Amino acid sequence: MPKIEVNEELFYTLAGRRWKAREEFESALTCAKAELDEDSDKTLAEIERILKIELNDTNRPDLWSTAGCARQLRVYHTGKKPFYPFFSAPGAMKDAKKHIIVEETVKGVRPYIAGFIAKGKTITDASLRDVIQTQEKIAWNYGRKRRTVSMGLYRAAAIKWPVRYKGVDPDSVSFVPLQWDSPLTLREILKQHPKGKEYAFIQENEPLHPLLLDSGGGILSYPPIINSADLGAVQVGDSELFIEITGTGLHAVTLSASIVACDFADQGYEIEPVDVRSAFDTAFGKLYTTPFYFQEPVFCSLERIEKYLGEKLDGKECAAALERMGCDAERITALERGVPEGTGVPGILCRLPPYRNDYLHAADVMEDVMIGRGLSSFTPQKPAEFTMGRLSPITILSRKVKAALVGMGYQEMIYNYLGSREELVDMMSGNAAGIVRIANPMSEKFEYVRDSILPNLMKSEQVSANAAYPHRIFETGKVAFKDAKRNYGTATRQYAAFLYAAQDANFNTLSAQIQTLFYYLNREFEVAALDGDDARFIRGRAAQILYKGGRVGEFGEVHPAVLEAFNVEMPCAACEIDLDYLLR
């Protein structure tokens, strides 16, 4: 979970009050889903006291700063919400004197940017350290180590507007980066500069790299790697800063800019919006002004709130609780909102503040109602039913299978349920028609849900050639496959699979081991010829296992084509059994 270190004096000033007792302060932090990690007695330069706060909600990046956490406590305990007049919204853009021009070349690299000017107040050492901490927390946690979101600070007075954001050849541009004393090309930065080495994985394989520069050719930064040592070297005493956020998702970039803008505004800075003029279309159009309010309101019926929280609350109570969480709440009916909750159903329409975008469902509204009303305000209730936990039948059966196979000399393996098409289908000479594919995979190595355990066992055998034979390995675990009869079109089953690799690994040897396994499971079974070819096994050297007249599994000698695909030179015999079917 994110942890922040805050200047005690600055935090109490922004929160609008001071907590003397540790217990009182920890209780106050509950509304921000936070706790005091450590109240250090050490001092920084013997001047200021540092508080360490741990945040327990990764969906609220607005709380990962001194100003953001203090804002939540201030609003909760005073009921006064801050007003930020500098936000634009769809159809209501603010006038902006400064512009960022986004060129077409950056579209396929890191396409989105947002920015603003913070001015009118001199930045202190404490506030500079705090904004740098915010920069790192947002980029590291919310921005996935700068991959999707990163932030830059610059000396606005020295910038020649408009600023240009474009993609360039990494060998064609050089500048002096922060904490360096000589020019480096972008590619050299990735190989020589400490920050370049740390974040090289983001850009090193791209043909074009993002670059931010002003109209005079002065380079601001090489996002998301490093600022320049000139315009990007913010110092204590600067009174006009340009803050930009770049990334791969427009909503994440815009929200991050909104959070930082509100933090600066809470500290007394004047926020000046900046236009973004994009050469390509975005979800906000080709021209939009940031900070930008884009969040959609969320409706939650009072009936659902009562169901979730166990107490009947009226619209006034719910609205007051949401207001304490910084939201704008309005009592309304589903008919007025036009949502499928039923005609005239009363509820709450909640609009998030501009620094939040964590509502995905009506349940999130309910959660804020609960926190805003106060957990201690709910009457404790004893459980209405007494239940006793126990192992499920499939777990008991799986444990029996494990015990039997271990007793037969097999070693248990544990695998991921996700894999690549190459390993799960192609190398097994299988058919991809029934396998479940992930809609938004993080990597092609984890693109499909396995429909068999045998590919995993073969993968283990592939890297075990140096181990003494025979090899006996097994796993019990879940598999999934398409099933049109199910509600979601897929079925999940508990399987057991085992593989025997040795010179005598053949149909007869494995058949004897299957008889032993079913003997210990106290199950009667039959063996029959396969009703069709199974490309995983040698034709005529494989069979299906029948239990109570139904097919419960199959076994046989692994086909040479499969052995060759996995680069396995030793004969293998394998079996796979549907344990859920055995419970019938």
**Cα–Cα distance for residue pair 209/105, rounded to 1 Å:** 9
**Cα–Cα distance for residue pair 170/211, rounded to 1 Å:** 9
* Average pLDDT estimate for 246-271: 96
- Whether the link from the prior residue into 455 is cis, omega within 30° of 0, is no
**DSSP assignment string, 73-101:** HHHHHH-PPP--TT-BBTTBPPP-SEEEE
* Residue pair 273/96 in contact by the 8 Å Cβ criterion: yes
Residues of the chain with CATH 3.30.930.10: 393-582
* Average pLDDT estimate for 258-266: 96
Backbone angles phi, psi at 474, to 5 degrees: -155, 165
**Cα–Cα distance for residue pair 98/113, rounded to 1 Å:** 14
Query: What size, in residues, is the chain?
Result: 584
| CATH number at 393-582 | 3.30.930.10
pLDDT in tens, 180-192: 999 999 999 999 9
The tokens of 514 are what? 């299957």
Residues of the chain with CATH 3.30.56.10: 3-78, 298-377
**Cα–Cα distance for residue pair 355/254, rounded to 1 Å:** 10
CATH architecture of the domain covering 298-377? 2-Layer Sandwich (3.30)
* Parallel/antiparallel/unpaired status of strands 163-168 and 98-102: parallel
Cα–Cα nearest to 314, from 263, 270, 369, 240: 369
pTM over 0.75: no
In this predicted structure, what is the pLDDT of residue 311?
87
- Mean pLDDT, the chain, whole residue set: 91
C-alpha separations of 119 from 116, 238, 239, 410 in Å: 10, 9, 6, 70
**Cα–Cα distance for residue pair 497/451, rounded to 1 Å:** 12
* Average pLDDT estimate for 34-39: 76
Cα–Cα nearest to 117, from 239, 229, 230: 239
End-to-end CA distance of the chain: 44
pLDDT in tens, 341-371: 445 678 899 999 999 999 988 899 999 999 9
**Cα–Cα distance for residue pair 463/465, rounded to 1 Å:** 6
| CATH number at 3-78 | 3.30.56.10
CATH number of this structure's domain 98-290, picked from the four choices 3.40.50.300, 3.30.43.10, 3.30.930.10, 3.50.40.10: 3.50.40.10
**Cα–Cα distance for residue pair 9/21, rounded to 1 Å:** 15
In this predicted structure, what is the pLDDT of residue 254?
97
What residue type is 198 in one-letter code?
E
- The Cβ-side half-sphere exposure at 558, using a 13 Å CA radius, reads 32
Residue 202 has pLDDT above 60, yes or no: yes
pLDDT in tens, 441-458: 878 889 999 999 999 999
**Cα–Cα distance for residue pair 300/305, rounded to 1 Å:** 7
Place of tokens 């090193």: 204
Q: Predicted confidence band at 43 (pLDDT cuts at 50, 70, 90)?
A: very low
Cα–Cα nearest to 45, from 125, 121, 101: 125
In this predicted structure, what is the pLDDT of residue 584?
79
Q: Predicted confidence band at 58 (pLDDT cuts at 50, 70, 90)?
A: confident
The tokens of 359 are what? 């509502």
Cα–Cα nearest to 192, from 221, 146, 200: 200
**Cα–Cα distance for residue pair 164/210, rounded to 1 Å:** 10
